[in-house]
Copies of this chain bind each other. A is one copy, B any other.
Amino acid sequence: MNFVDHIKTFFPLTDEAAVELLGKSRWHNFPRHHLLHREGEVCNRLWFIETGIVRWFYHDEDGRDITDSFASENSFVTAFDSFFQRKPSRYFIEVLEDSTVYSMDYSDLDESLYKFPEIERVSRLILLDILEQQLEKNSALQFRTAEQRYRFVIEKHPDLLQRVSLGNIASYLGITQETLSRIRSKRPK
């Protein structure tokens, strides 16, 4: 599904706006391990994942690679700490499977936001959705044991277990790979 069709599933986009957006976007095919974005750079692209999965990660003070979150089919992806505010990002964005994505440049999107108030509105809705996921993740980690965190993944993001390495999932949950492994061996499956 392309991103305009996806938007239409939750917002009645006019044809003019749809044409505007499609005209300014491009389609890409990226291999596993490709980096969509690097730490320290201002992110100039907004992506939409048609097929595949990506992760945001950053390097903490001790140089550890820490996964912040994942996104897959029908998600908008960018460095949210960078793209809109035009400042360097702390995040990397990595493609974890061979993926097909649409992209749009910041300047093109910015233009469209001015031309079409409805696009502004769609952006707000998308941001809200992302904010809510962050809130949910926050409460899944805060004050939770390793096992409770793991159950969060099983319940809310079971597909991750099939598609992403356990090392990445452990880091996403803020626990070590070893701890995750031990939890999994206790309650099989």
Contact = CB atoms under 8 A, between A and B. Distances in A.
26 contacts: A58-B139, A60-B139, A64-B143, A66-B139, A66-B142, A68-B135, A68-B138, A80-B128, A80-B135, A81-B135, A84-B125, A84-B128, A85-B132, A117-B117, A117-B120, A120-B120, A120-B121, A123-B124, A124-B127, A127-B127, A127-B131, A131-B131, A134-B135, A138-B138, A143-B171, A143-B174
Interface in A57-81: 58, 60, 64, 66, 68, 80-81
A167 B55 CA distance: 34
A166 interface: no
A113 interface: yes
Nearest to A116: B117
A151 to B, nearest CB: 11
A109 to B, nearest CB: 12
Interface of A: 58, 60, 64, 66, 68, 80-81, 84-85, 90, 113, 117, 120-121, 123-125, 127-128, 130-132, 134-135, 137-139, 141-143, 171, 174
A141 B127 CA distance: 22
A124 B131 contact: no
Contacts of A123: 124
Contacts of A120: 117, 120-121, 124
A130 B139 CA distance: 16
A13 to B, nearest CB: 15
Query: Which of A64, A123, A171 has the most C-beta atoms of chain B within 10 angstroms of its own C-beta?
Result: A123
A131 B171 CA distance: 21
A76 B151 CA distance: 33
Query: Which of A90, A130, A131, A132 has the most C-beta atoms of chain B within 10 angstroms of its own C-beta?
Result: A131
Nearest to A148: B61
